[in-house]
Amino acid sequence: MNKPIRRVAVVAMIMFALLLANGSYAAMFRTQELNENPRNRRARDAEFAQDRGAIVAGDENKTVLAETTEVRDRFKYQRTYPDGELYAALTGYYSYDHARTGLENSYNTELAGTDDSLFVRRLIDMITNRTPQGASIETTILPEVQQAAAEALDGQKGAVVALDPKTGAVLGLVTSPTFDPNEIASHDISKADKAYQELNADKQRPLSNRAAREIYPPGSTFKLVTAAAALEAGLKPDSKVASPDKLRLPGTQTDLGNDSNCGGTQITISQALNVSCNTAFANLGLQLGQDKLRAQAQKFGFNQRHLSDLGAAASQFPDDLNGAELALSSIGQFDVAASPLQMAMVTAAIANDGVLMDPYLVNTVRGPDLQPISTHRPTEVGATMSPENARLLKQMMVGVVTDGTGGRAAIDGFTVGGKTGTAQSDPKRKPFAWFTSFAEVDGKQVAVAVMIEDADIERNDISGGRLAAPIARDVMKAALA
C-alpha cells in the first residue's frame, strides 16, 4: 500500500471511529434529549399514540378527570377530559404541537408508562406482545369542593384554593376564566393549533393558573402574617397599638389612611384585625422591624416554591426596605406578592396549631394492575408559630367573622375564622378582592383562600368581605358537609 492510500485509509478509519463513538454516545446519553426534541416528529407520533393512564379525583367514586379512549385514526388513542373546564387548572392539557401542562406534564412518564418504576411492566408487555399502558394518578381533589368553588366564583376573574390544614392535601383548586383542554388535545392538529392560538391571544388569559402560578398583592390578608409576627415577638391580642386616622409614611410626604373607622387612636391588635386598620398594622410593622416580619413571612412559605406538581410560583416578601416600604409591606402592599395557594397556606398553618404542611395534589400513583407504585405521605414544612400563639390568632380570626369585616363567611354550626383584603396594584385598575379563612366542625378542618382579580362593580364597593367571603363560605360548607 503506497503512502497516499495509507493516509486515506487512516483518515477513513478515524472518521468511522468518530461516527461509531457519536452514535454510541447518542444512544447512551442523548436518547431522552432527542426524543423530547420538538422537531422529532417520529418520537412525538409514538408518544401521542400511547395508552396513557387516567387522572382521577380523590372521592370514593374516583371521578375521572382525564382518560384515554380508543379511536380509529393514526394515533389510535385519544386523550379526553370528561369535565374539562372544571379541572383544566389541575390536569392541564396533552397536545401534539403544544406539549403538556399541569399534571399531564409533571407526571408525564408515569402516565405514558415510560417511567423507570414501570420497567418490569414494560418488559412483561413486550414479552407477551400486550399493548403498553400507563399508570393512573389519584389526586386529592374532591369533586364537590371543586364544583362549589367554580359555581361560587361564577365566571369572575380570579381563583379559589381549598386545603386540608392537617395534611396539606389540595381539596379544590379553581381558576377563572378557564378553558376546555379537549380542544387542544384534538387529533385534528390544525384545529387544535387554532384553539391554542385563540386561547393564548385572549386578553382574559384563560390559560393562566391564577390559583398557583400567578402572584398578586395580598392586601390586608397579609395582616395575618404581621399579627403572627407580633404575637411571636411577645405582644398579646389586647396589646395596644397607635391607630391614627392618617399615618405619615417615614421619609415621605405621603399619608397612609384607613378604609374604615378603626375605633380610636389607640386600639388592641385584635380590634385592628377585626376592622382591618391600616395605620395600626403599619405601626405594628414599623415596631417589629423588617427582619422579624420577613422571617415570619418565610415561615409561612414566602420566597419558596411549593406544589411543584403545578409549577407553582414563589410568593414574595421584599428585601432591604426603608421605613415607608416597611409600613406598606406590613399591610400587604408595596412589593409583597402572593398566590391564592400561599394565602391558603397561611390560614391552614394558623388553623393547624401553627404547623405548616406542604401542599400536595397527588395521593397515589398506580400501575395498570392497580398496585400502588408510590404513595404520598403528608410532610411538615415547619412550625410557623407556637401552638399557643396560633390558637390566639385563630380566635382573633373568628372575631373578624363574628364582629368584624368577614361576617358574610359565617356558617351556622361551624367555627369560622377569616381575614378580608382589598389590594390596590394600579390606580387605573380596580383592586383585588381577597378573603382567606378556615372552618371547623366535628373535628374536621378546611382552609380556603379566594381572590377576585377584577369585578364588574364600582371601585368603592369592592371589598374582600363583600365579594370573596361568600365564595369561601360556600366552599367551606362543601368541604365539611
pLDDT in tens, 426-481: 666 678 899 999 999 999 999 999 999 875 555 444 567 889 999 999 999 999 98
- The closest of 23, 355, 26, 409 to 166, measured between CA atoms, is 355
User: Considering 186, 220, 339, 463, which one is annotated as catalytic?
Assistant: 220
What pLDDT is attached to residue 197? 97
Grid coordinates 382518560 are at which residue?
A: 67
What pLDDT is attached to residue 40? 55
**Spatial separation of the C-alpha atoms in residues 320 and 201, rounded to whole Å:** 37
pLDDT in tens, 134-144: 899 999 999 99
What pLDDT is attached to residue 328? 96
pLDDT in tens, 311-320: 999 999 999 9
**Spatial separation of the C-alpha atoms in residues 9 and 170, rounded to whole Å:** 66
Contact 103, 93 (CB under 8 A): no
Q: Give the pLDDT mean for 315-336.
A: 96
Active site residue 220: yes
What pLDDT is attached to residue 4? 75
Please give the model's pTM, rounded to 2 decimal places: 0.88
What pLDDT is attached to residue 131? 60
Cell reading at 439: 372552618
Grid coordinates 396533552 are at which residue?
A: 94
pLDDT in tens, 262-303: 999 999 999 999 999 999 999 999 999 999 999 999 999 999
Which domains can be identified in the chain, with CATH numbers?
219-365+382-480 (3.40.710.10)
